[in-house]
Chains A and B, each alone.
Chain A
Amino acid sequence: MKVIATSKLTKFFGKTRALNGVDLEVKQGEVFGYIGPNGAGKTTTIRILLGILQANEGQAQLLGQDAWQDAVGIHRQVAYVPGEVNLWPDLTGGEVIDLFVKLRGTNNSSRREEMIERFDLDPSKKCGTYSKGNRQKVALVAAFSSDADLYILDEPSAGLDPLMEKEFHECVGEVKQQGKTVFLSSHILSEVEKLCDKVSIIRQGEIIESGSLKDLRHLTRTEMLIETRKPVHGLEDFKGVHNVQQKDLEYSFQVDSEELGRVIQHLGQFEVIKLESAPPKLEDIFMRYYRGSGAEE
């Protein structure tokens, strides 16, 4: 079952086009990573999914209902952590958590105490005195102590220390175990790599790549280091080989994943005595996409 389905979402702010034909599909039980550089349109997408902004064109459906029309009904099954958590300075963290749980309509706060403990939050402090990370924790506690079907998280670990980040990862793992769906926008690549089943990359309002992590790895290059007895020739001209560097009979270069087999075959003629390869890193994918022409900032 599709938990989130959008087609051709387009959003203008005045003349600037923040989203341009965004198609997303998230299935039940998936942890879906949504990544892209600053200003790419992640938060805008999430706000459309939540019915806070209205798309100029295109459809967005959550849990089979229209994101704009049926917002209130949908939200009873959604837990949301905003990218920038702004709270009322005069209220305490505990009050805000209770209020948030109440506002969702379903009165299930059985896990509240457990979550407060896990995230090491002092609920008696006024929100005005909380650090950024602590405000983030308030939103996380409220989200994970409620019993939702879909968790929408906008850069949720920004501002968390490593210990809390780990706790957060465990929370995501737990809800995934229960078959819940998670939509996670993030900048932290290791986090996405660790948590997500599928990712979409957005840049300048357009989805430029979507698929499982495995699929994406195919798009990248493997780092190779070889040493041969005979000098290698023809490597530079080989299709899919990049950045060849030579030091005596040691060569280092990168190979497009789909060309790997043919390159290895070619190298066989030169009596390889050492071959090291580093697996493609997700980071490389991002760098390649983020640095695409005209990227913002």
Chain B
Amino acid sequence: MRRGLFNKAGVNARLIFRRDRWRLLFWILGIFLLTVVVAFAYTELVPTQHERMVMAETMRNPAVTAMFGPGFGLDDYNYGAIMGHQMLLFTALIVAIMFILMVARHTPGDEENGRIELIRSLPVGRLSNLSATILVCSGACLVLTLLIGLGLYATGIEGLDLEGSLYYGLVLGATGFFFTAATALMAQLAESSRGTMGFSFGLLGFSYLIRAIGDVGTEALSWLSPLGWVIRSEVYVNNYFWPIGLTLGGGLLLVGLAFYLHTLRDLEAGFIPTRSGRKTASPFLQGPLGLGLRLQRTTIIAWIVGLFVLGASYGSVLGDLETYLESMELIQVMLIDVEGFSLTEQFLPMLMSVIAIIATIPVLLLTLKIRGEEDKNRTEHFLARAVSRSRVMGSFLLLAIVVMIGVLLFGVFGLYSAGAAVMEEPISLNTMLKSLLVYAPAVLAMIGLGVLIIGFAPRRTGLAWLYLGYSFFVVYLGEMLQLPDWMARLSPFGHIPRYPLEEIVFSTLIIITLIAGGLMALGFWGYNRRDIYG
């Protein structure tokens, strides 16, 4: 019986591996290179013990804790402690994203495309596909653990000892396994690969937020978050194993649960039941725009709420930051190099750039949605009827732009309302609005890129995500790592004036907007003349 369920899992795993070997290689190597490059970057950035201690001082502040987790080893802030504190959580996030995408691609994704049905009609066990996916992903976690562990040790950088490096790798591997398991479970709950990704990314975002709030204030909250666990192994400094054990154990539990639910569940149906619905279309469902809105309303609402919460959680840190900064004269000296701005205002542009980039995710999702529809053979329903290609594309684009405005505004409202509640001298709403809305042209440029890709290289939508990931990297870590300026300038986000520290340069914003418009126009042109595949 047991054997029957897992029958041919090995064959299936080989198939998955074959289909994904390049994807896996790309991800693992990418993460590996990022880690090693950053490790070397720190040796350039803070070469002396004195500079590292100054850095350690800046780490004792709540905004940094919210971003990186609580500091450890600050008394002897060597490269090991720096990597373990500043890089590990960020890398763990990337690893989690990698495995969410991998699992969502294979479990519900393949089911939707009818591939599983084909495979399951052969003598293949019921759990074979799920277990094969988990098997391949676990293998990838192991490779990642060893590669990063040994790689960091091999850099020979002072402070990166063998044990700590292996723990560093192990934390990443364990996180990967946990999110593999969590996504496998989500795949049983949701009906579609989009739903699975939505749930899983929701879980990831929630874990990050809970951890941020917990690390700054109530530590108990951090214990609810798998991301809160991983940083508590304090790699290179204390090398605690139990947080890793907890992550792995939690992962195993989730795998078991996923298997159990999977045996209960029908193919292609989730546990969240479908009700019977309306017999006729509502007046809103008149065309592609109404349909786009209807299909994605849950996603849109979820992201708007999400951005509000993100803004609010950053906002709630602002109060702590204010008190903290005032109590630390040393840092005041370090930070006040811009006249006339409060210390918290100086943190604003950094927060805003992160919020803006995160807000780009739903916007890009909506822009690229039309491509997913084409993959599922559903754009022909429009094009075979009296709907022009421009109207189809235009509807999805309009929706993306409206949602962009929505998520940006709600991000600001969250930040402002929480900030105003906790700060003695709140930053004005006006300043906050301006400092976030200046990013709108950059988001538009990302939309433009999405439209261009749909018009000319419909199979390459991954490029848009890659570019967004790059933007996140240079904005989030660029300043800390003191990356060269041109690297940030390769991203539209790097051109945005950092209001209120810098004046708003309207000519820059207009140029970026015009470029965005140009990209969109090109994309429309391409979409109007290319073959549509379904």
Residues of A within 8 A of B (CB): 47, 50-54, 71-73, 75-76, 78, 80, 82, 84, 86-92, 94-100, 102-105, 123-126, 128-129, 152
| Residues A89 and B191 in contact, CB atoms below 8 Å apart | yes
| Residues B285 and A95 in contact, CB atoms below 8 Å apart | yes
Query: Interface residues of B: mostly helix, strand, loop or mixed?
Result: loop
In the complex, A10→B234 CA distance in Å?
Answer: 65
| Residues A124 and B285 in contact, CB atoms below 8 Å apart | no
In the complex, A215→B285 CA distance in Å?
Answer: 48
| Residues B386 and A105 in contact, CB atoms below 8 Å apart | yes
- Residues from chain B with a CB closer than 8 A to the CB of A88 are 291, 295, 378
Of the A-B pairs whose beta carbons lie under 8 Å apart in the complex, a sample of 25, sorted by A's number, is A47-B380, A50-B380, A52-B380, A53-B532, A54-B529, A54-B530, A71-B388, A75-B385, A76-B386, A84-B377, A86-B378, A86-B534, A88-B291, A91-B277, A92-B278, A94-B278, A94-B280, A95-B281, A97-B281, A99-B285, A103-B287, A103-B387, A105-B386, A123-B280, A124-B279
Chain B residue at minimal CB-CB distance from A51:
B383
Chain B residue at minimal CB-CB distance from A73:
B386
Chain A residue at minimal CB-CB distance from B192:
A89
Minimum C-beta distance from A41 to chain B (A):
14
Chain B residue at minimal CB-CB distance from A116:
B279
| Residues B286 and A86 in contact, CB atoms below 8 Å apart | no
Minimum C-beta distance from A45 to chain B (A):
14
Chain A residue at minimal CB-CB distance from B268:
A128
Q: Pick the contact of B377 from A54, A71, A86, A103 — CB < 8 Å?
A: A86
Given contacts A100-B381, A102-B286, A103-B382, 5 further A-B contacts (CB under 8 A): A52-B384, A82-B377, A92-B277, A96-B281, A99-B287
- Residues from chain A with a CB closer than 8 A to the CB of B384 are 50, 52, 75, 78, 80, 82, 152
Minimum C-beta distance from A121 to chain B (A):
10
In the complex, A94→B382 CA distance in Å?
Answer: 17
| Residues B377 and A102 in contact, CB atoms below 8 Å apart | no
| Residues A102 and B380 in contact, CB atoms below 8 Å apart | no
- A92 and B276 contact, Cβ closer than 8 Å, known pairs A84-B377, A87-B378: yes
Interface residues of B in 277-301 (CB under 8 A from A): 277-282, 285-287, 291, 294-295
In the complex, A71→B387 CA distance in Å?
Answer: 9
- Residues from chain A with a CB closer than 8 A to the CB of B286 are 99, 102
Minimum C-beta distance from A261 to chain B (A):
49
Ranked 8 nearest A-B pairs via Cβ: A98-B281, A105-B386, A103-B385, A94-B279, A92-B277, A80-B384, A95-B281, A86-B377
Query: Does chain A have a CB within 8 A of B329?
Result: no
| Residues A82 and B380 in contact, CB atoms below 8 Å apart | yes
| Residues B386 and A98 in contact, CB atoms below 8 Å apart | no
- Residues from chain A with a CB closer than 8 A to the CB of B387 are 72, 75, 103
| Residues B280 and A95 in contact, CB atoms below 8 Å apart | yes
Query: Does chain A have a CB within 8 A of B531?
Result: yes
| Residues B279 and A75 in contact, CB atoms below 8 Å apart | no
Minimum C-beta distance from A215 to chain B (A):
31
- A126 and B377 contact, Cβ closer than 8 Å, known pairs A88-B295, A89-B191, A95-B285: no
In the complex, A125→B275 CA distance in Å?
Answer: 8
Minimum C-beta distance from B463 to chain A (A):
21
- A124 and B281 contact, Cβ closer than 8 Å, known pairs A52-B384, A52-B531, A75-B386: no
| Residues B386 and A99 in contact, CB atoms below 8 Å apart | no
In the complex, A64→B99 CA distance in Å?
Answer: 54
- Residues from chain B with a CB closer than 8 A to the CB of A73 are 386
- Residues from chain A with a CB closer than 8 A to the CB of B377 are 82, 84, 86
| Residues B279 and A123 in contact, CB atoms below 8 Å apart | yes
Query: Does chain A have a CB within 8 A of B274?
Result: yes
Minimum C-beta distance from B351 to chain A (A):
35
- Residues from chain B with a CB closer than 8 A to the CB of A95 are 277-278, 280-282, 285
Which interface residue of A91, A103, A105, A128 has the most chain B CB atoms within 10 A? Answer: A103
Chain B residue at minimal CB-CB distance from A92:
B277
| Residues B280 and A80 in contact, CB atoms below 8 Å apart | no
Query: Does chain A have a CB within 8 A of B376?
Result: yes
Interface residues of B in 379-426 (CB under 8 A from A): 380-388
Which interface residue of B192, B280, B286 has the most chain A CB atoms within 10 A? Answer: B280
| Residues B280 and A128 in contact, CB atoms below 8 Å apart | no
- Residues from chain B with a CB closer than 8 A to the CB of A72 are 386-388
In the complex, A103→B294 CA distance in Å?
Answer: 16
- Residues from chain A with a CB closer than 8 A to the CB of B282 are 95
In the complex, A125→B279 CA distance in Å?
Answer: 8
- Residues from chain B with a CB closer than 8 A to the CB of A126 are 274-277
- A128 and B274 contact, Cβ closer than 8 Å, known pairs A75-B385, A90-B295, A99-B291: yes
In the complex, A86→B378 CA distance in Å?
Answer: 6
- Residues from chain A with a CB closer than 8 A to the CB of B532 are 52-53
- Residues from chain A with a CB closer than 8 A to the CB of B376 are 86
Q: Pick the contact of B191 from A47, A50, A80, A128 — CB < 8 Å?
A: A128
Chain B residue at minimal CB-CB distance from A78:
B384
| Residues B191 and A98 in contact, CB atoms below 8 Å apart | no
- Residues from chain A with a CB closer than 8 A to the CB of B386 are 72-73, 75-76, 103-105
| Residues A98 and B285 in contact, CB atoms below 8 Å apart | yes
- Residues from chain B with a CB closer than 8 A to the CB of A92 are 276-279
Minimum C-beta distance from B251 to chain A (A):
30
Chain A residue at minimal CB-CB distance from B288:
A103
- Residues from chain B with a CB closer than 8 A to the CB of A103 are 287, 381-382, 385-387
- Residues from chain B with a CB closer than 8 A to the CB of A78 are 384
- A124 and B385 contact, Cβ closer than 8 Å, known pairs A53-B532, A91-B294: no
Chain B residue at minimal CB-CB distance from A122:
B276
Chain B residue at minimal CB-CB distance from A80:
B384
Minimum C-beta distance from B111 to chain A (A):
12
- Residues from chain B with a CB closer than 8 A to the CB of A100 are 381, 385
Chain B residue at minimal CB-CB distance from A125:
B276
- Residues from chain B with a CB closer than 8 A to the CB of A75 are 384-387
Chain A residue at minimal CB-CB distance from B373:
A88
Which interface residue of B279, B285, B532 has the most chain A CB atoms within 10 A? Answer: B279
Minimum C-beta distance from A114 to chain B (A):
15
| Residues A80 and B385 in contact, CB atoms below 8 Å apart | yes
Binary per-residue interface labels of chain B (91-106) against chain A in the complex, 1 for a CB within 8 Å, 0 otherwise: 0000000000000000
Minimum C-beta distance from A161 to chain B (A):
20
Minimum C-beta distance from A154 to chain B (A):
10
- Residues from chain A with a CB closer than 8 A to the CB of B274 are 126, 128-129
- Residues from chain A with a CB closer than 8 A to the CB of B294 are 90-91
Minimum C-beta distance from A65 to chain B (A):
13
Minimum C-beta distance from B331 to chain A (A):
52
Chain B residue at minimal CB-CB distance from A53:
B531
Minimum C-beta distance from B294 to chain A (A):
7
In the complex, A52→B382 CA distance in Å?
Answer: 10
| Residues B531 and A54 in contact, CB atoms below 8 Å apart | yes
In the complex, A179→B275 CA distance in Å?
Answer: 42
Minimum C-beta distance from A16 to chain B (A):
14
Chain A residue at minimal CB-CB distance from B534:
A86
In the complex, A194→B383 CA distance in Å?
Answer: 31
- A98 and B381 contact, Cβ closer than 8 Å, known pairs A88-B291, A103-B387: no
In the complex, A52→B534 CA distance in Å?
Answer: 8
Minimum C-beta distance from A143 to chain B (A):
10
In the complex, A54→B531 CA distance in Å?
Answer: 6
- Residues from chain A with a CB closer than 8 A to the CB of B278 are 92, 94-95, 124
Minimum C-beta distance from B316 to chain A (A):
35
Minimum C-beta distance from B531 to chain A (A):
5
